[in-house]
Amino acid sequence: MFWQTTRFRIDLSQPQVMGIVNVTPDSFSDGGQHANTRAALAHCEQLLKDGAHILDIGGESTRPGAPAVSLEDELARVLPVVREAVRLNVPISIDTYKAGVMQAVLDAGADIINDVWALRQAGAQQVVAAHANCGVCLMHMHGEPQTMQTLPMQGRSIQAVAAFLKNQAQALQALGVADERIALDPGVGFGKTVAQNFELLAHQDQLLALGYPLLVGWSRKSSIGAVTGCAVGERMVPSVAAALLAVERGAHIVRVHDVAQTVQALQVWQAAQV
């Protein structure tokens, strides 16, 4: 399986590690640590040294309760980093839901649009569909960041998530986007209870059955804290365990903060694939 993006046809026969680059002052785990262009680029370079295959740059926090950021502020945070990061010769993903940001970063050479709203905001589908071959990741989110954890979804999660992602992917294909450009993300932590999040991992095969690459993001999430009692800054080991379990159960890409440790764990896992 491959994931077609702007400049790269990513081979998914081996698991891909997507390193998180938050150019934000308020992300739940590392907000403010890389909030200027120089610090963000230094972090990009370190993640690549640690073994990241893809970099995911975001300029707006989507943690529960996070306030929205204006188009102008998000562009000011993200665009200078993207213009430099595209020179690093790796796929560059942009975590955004705004059509205006999508257009600007794609014009600057970005490879992937990673959207927590699954292109449901005005103009987003059209921007991606108009591009020749950018990659896109469609994520499931119940509600919106301001309310998603106070009003989580009800009932079983796997069927609802799978149906939503299938519909969004088909809608995008109807606009002319090739299926090899599309990846899916079940949205761990986005409007789901702890039990619902772990249901997604337990039944991940139902998401894989949709036929698209699967990208998952367990890194430092509150559900990990709920089952371990670990504070955000202490969740590296259980986050790596969750990423490894996701890959073992078929996930193609894992989105992580702790790149070096995740890469090392996957190297051990791969050594046993004989």
Please return the burial class of 211, using the count of CB atoms within 10 Å of its CB with bins 0-12, 13-18 and 19+: exposed
- Over the chain, what HEC string results? CEEECCCCEEECCCCEEEEEEECCCCCCCCCCCCCCHHHHHHHHHHHHHCCCCEEEEECCCCCCCCCCCCHHHHHHHHHHHHHHHHHHCCCEEEECCCHHHHHHHHHCCCCEEEECCCCCCCCHHHHHHHCCCCEEEEECCCCCCCCCCCCCCCCCCHHHHHHHHHHHHHHHHHCCCCHHHEEEECCCCCCCCHHHHHHHHHCHHHHHCCCCCEEECCCCCHHHHHHHCCCHHHCHHHHHHHHHHHHHCCCCEEEECCHHHHHHHHHHHHHCCC
Question: Which sequence positions are flagged as catalytic?
Answer: 221, 255
CA distance 127 to 254: 25
**Residue written as tokens 């998530």?**
161
Query: Is there a contact between 240 and 262 (Cβ–Cβ < 8 Å)?
Result: yes
Alpha carbon 83 to chain centroid, angstroms: 20
